[in-house]
Amino acid sequence: MNKKQTKNNLITYAIVIAFYIIVEIMILTGNLSSHMKGLLVPLTYYAVIAVALNLCVGILGELSIGHCGFMCIGAFTSAFFSRATEMSIPTVPRFILAFIIGIAFAALFGFLIGIPVLRLKGDYLAIVTLAFGEIIKNVINSFYIGIDSKGLHFSMKSAMEMGMDKDGDIIVNGAMGITGTPHNANFTVGIVVLLITLFVVQNLVGSRDGRAIMAIRDNNIAAEATGINITGYKMMAFTISAAIAGAAGVLFSHNITTLTASSQYFGYNASIMILVYVVLGGIGNIRGSVIAACILYLLPELLRGLNTYRMLIYSIVLIVMMIVNWSPKIIEWRKRTFGRMNLKLTKEA
Amino acid sequence: MSFLTYLINGLSLGSIYAIIALGYTMVYGIAKMLNFAHGDFIMVGCYIIFSVSAALSGNSVIGIIVAVVLCTILGVTTEFVAYRPLRGAASPLAVLITAIGVSYLLENIALLIYGADIKSFSSVITWEGVSFAGGQLKIQGVTIVTILVSVVILIALQLFINKTKQGQAMLAASEDKGAAALMGINVNRTIALTFAIGSSLAAVAGALLCSAYPSLSPYTGAMPGIKAFVAAVLGGIGSIPGAMIGGMVLGIVEILSKTYISSQLSDAIVFGILVVVLLVKPTGILGRQMVEKV
Amino acid sequence: MALLDVNNLSISFGGLRAVDNFNITINKGELYGLIGPNGAGKTTVFNLLTGVYKPNEGIIRLDGEDITRKSTIEINHAGIARTFQNIRLFKNMSVIDNVKVGLSERFKYSALEGILHVGRYFSVEKEMDAEASKLLKVFDLDGERDILAANLPYGKQRKLEIARAMATNPKLLLLDEPAAGMNPNETKELMDTIALVRREFDMTILLIEHDMKLVSGICERLTVLNFGRVLCQGETKEVLSNPEVITAYLGE
């Protein structure tokens, strides 16, 4: 085990815990506005899904622009479960079960979608993840599921079609989504989920499986010739990434009164927003994703005037970062200017 | 009769997809990159026509000309500033993410200038259209013009590629950039020319799109752009007739599924086609096989 | 006894018979050279041996086991490791991690143990680290263990590629133009490295090479390939003095 890596991982946990303590102190001393408090849970789930996406983009090396689709699956399956069992199971076990269900379904779909998607490469893979993200959103939008004394009812046409009793409860109401999911998520839960996510991803990166995944990213032909099971490891990374996105979805749905599969939260534009966090935090840099997600999510809220220009600035920064970090000419220029300093750089992940 | 109307509407929407898809497929064929911002060039074109027409009290012809010129400049500039530095980058994701950034940038500039509210776009085609079978089958002017324009563009492009020196240079550069450069072809200029053609077509597609569906917002171009990419993949990326066929098929499928299945699910069906095509025949209907050399 | 036994191997691409009726027998511990002009089909033979291409005809046996048409991964597990003409390292990983990727078939723990850092994780990682360090030492790369592979100088990148191949504990090592792009000094060092691999690991090696000095200096037997066919094979000295070979290389 690489000592430097262990230390690096511990620093990440420490930063998250320190942030948690500072925020809690601010809450206790009344230094945090209710507006800011409302941002804390979103902050955690955006950090979680940013880490998930970085696992896919930075570690596995495949660009997904449909990750919010997995978040959507996690959100809806868990919210459905919580709504359906709200009366019959006490809060704590129900919320834990909701997590398990949300994560399991997101992982299942990550696996199923991964089978076709991971056979593709580069641009094609990216556009197909986008396609799947949109398909998930559209399909969920046309689901109607209700429950009454006779059991579950299902339709893809309208709530009326289900033919439920008068006292029946419509849980998933098409494009109107799920209303009234219990508000079980809070900042502490969010931080715990984030810490578990970091634990899983950082440990994975430091393990033999993580190395195999990164080897595939760097050179799939050489990895294959070195005896690495390409398909298996790609599936593994993609499924874990989807599962974590599902966990973010559970936090999302248990923090919102009305959950709809809208483009704003689950469309490809939302996925691209997460990608911005990942790129600006450093592709492959797990800690960077968390920090970037926090800063980029909070900054426009702190600097009110910035909000109008927020996306404009992000897009410019995104373009500039990509050119500065990846342009062959600029890389060469940096090497010439800074000389052998680059040689000392070891891996970031 | 109503089925025939839907079919023609599908053909018309498909023609628009086809014109957009031509831009994607040419750029992909030569620069080997997915210009994610291509759809947003359409939106820029629409806003230019909208503004110019408003300033000139409804003269849309000048609006279209200005839009074509400015979109061409926009396309070439984008390629020069954002994409060219990343040619030959270690990861193919670099230029794709940059293109996503450009897409975001254009949408947000439009948002700042015009706001998020939907502008109603007055059609650039004033012709009412024709009726058949005693008014049972009515085809709108914009539908006919759209289909005609796309056919004219297809023929013009085919002639350009096959009969002119620049067109041949494009073919050569899409085959092998290194070898093309050795044959004295200025690859950078050829790629810039491809972007110029693609972007000017985007402006034309914008005029037709907003004439058929007269609501304009900063996100107008995004979805048609992505669907046109689906069309390009469906037809076989890099193939000009393929883009045309792919666009037509996609337009018809979209309109028919909206009508007969569910408007909610029509996008899911369109994207489903992409998934199926890439799995069954990743090279599309008219595409060619590419193999990675070991 | 023959370690590698290839019979009647053929493959066509379209109408072109890239490799036609190729035969080779390599004995255990031998250093065998595969030479021939550009485009003769040498790398195609490597790709056939490692399962990148599937042959139209023929049988490949490694240590008596039929490995024809097996996947690249299975063939690696069966005991063939290779390097590439254009170096293919895991560039954004450290030197030692490159070797550890090669070791991962031999040093195993479950994914769950890896993710949770429990069970065999620590003990196996420790053994793996020791083994990887040992390999790096052999190849004189221990000074660069934490550097990114991309930042190694060219000659050392070649060495690392061989070290990584050796980490998979192969029976047969395939080297695809290891001296390509090297200056005479680097080539000399490479020859020492190859000699070292044979000595340290008692390795059987099949190499493709253009550098005649290197070939005549270290290979025991040669096969000459021309237009996808075996032109001649045998002892290095005999082969190199064969007039047909000279014609193939120098032209009429």
Q: Does C93 touch chain B (CB under 8 A)?
A: no
Distance CA C90, CA C97 (A): 9
C52 touches chain B (CB under 8 A): yes
Q: Assign A347 a pLDDT band (cuts: 50, 70, 90).
A: very low
Q: C130-175: per-residue pLDDT in tens?
A: 999 999 999 999 999 999 999 999 889 999 999 999 999 999 999 9
Q: Is B116 on the interface with C (CB under 8 A)?
A: no
pLDDT in tens, C166-183: 999 999 999 999 988 888
Looking at the complex, report in whole angstroms how far the Cα of residue B293 sits from the nearest Cα belonging to chain C: 10
Question: How far is Cα A321 from Cα A327, in angstroms, rounded to an integer?
Answer: 10
Cα nearest neighbour of C167 on chain A: A226
Instruction: Please answer whether residues C191 and C211 qualify as being in contact, where contact means their C-beta atoms are separated by less than 8 angstroms.
Output: no
C-interface mutation test, from A7, A207, A342, most C Cβ less than 10 A away? A207
ipTM score for this prediction: 0.92
Pick the CATH number of C1-79+170-252 from 3.30.530.20, 3.40.50.300, 3.40.190.10, 2.40.50.140: 3.40.50.300
| pLDDT beyond 60 at C205 | yes
Say what the pLDDT of residue A339 is: 59
C46 touches chain A (CB under 8 A): no
Tell me whether residue B279 is in a domain.
no
Average confidence (pLDDT) over C23-51 = 92
Assess whether pLDDT exceeds 80 at residue A349: no
User: What are φ and ψ of residue A173, in 5° steps?
Assistant: -115, 65
Paired with C222 in beta bridges are: C33, C234
Q: Coil, strand, or helix at residue A81? A: helix
**What does the domain layout of chain A look like in residue ranges?**
3-309
- Note whether B115 contacts A: Cβ–Cβ < 8 A: no
In a domain, B266, yes or no: no
Give the closest-approach CA distance of C55 to chain B in angstroms: 16
Tell me which of A303 and A14 has the higher pLDDT. Answer: A14
Q: CATH 3.40.50.300 occupies which residues in chain C? A: 1-79+170-252
Tokens of residue C7, six digits: 């019979």
Encoding tokens for residue A301?
A: 């809220």
Give kind and range of the element (H or E) at residue B86.
none
A152 SS3 class:
strand
Average pLDDT, chain C: 91
Chains in contact with chain C (at least 3 beta-carbon pairs closer than 8 A): A, B
pLDDT in tens, B251-285: 999 999 999 888 888 889 999 988 888 888 877 88
pLDDT (tens digit per residue) in C100-122:
999 999 999 999 999 999 999 99
| Residue C211 pLDDT greater than 70, yes or no | yes
A311 closest CB neighbour out of B90, B104, B265 = B104
Alpha-carbon distance of B118 to C167, in angstroms, equals 62
Cα of B201 to nearest chain C Cα, Å: 38
The torsion of the CA quartet A31, A35, A41, A46, rounded to 10 degrees, works out to: -110
Backbone angles phi, psi at C30, to 5 degrees: -80, 155
CB A239 within 8 A of CB A114: yes
Which of A 149-208 lie inside 8 A of C, CB atoms? 200, 203-204, 206-208
Decide if pLDDT at B10 tops 70. Answer: yes
Band (A337; pLDDT cuts 50, 70, 90): confident
Residue B1 lies in a domain: no
Q: CB of B276 within 8 A of CB of B40?
A: no
The mean-pLDDT minimum among A3-12, A95-104, A134-143, A219-228 falls in A3-12
Here the tokens at position A89 are: 């199971």
- What residue numbers bound the domain in which B186 lies? 14-221
Residue B289 confidence (pLDDT): 59
Residue among B34, B262, B275 whose CB faces A116 most closely: B275
d(CA A47, CA A44): 5
Name the band, by pLDDT with cuts 50, 70 and 90, for residue A342: very low
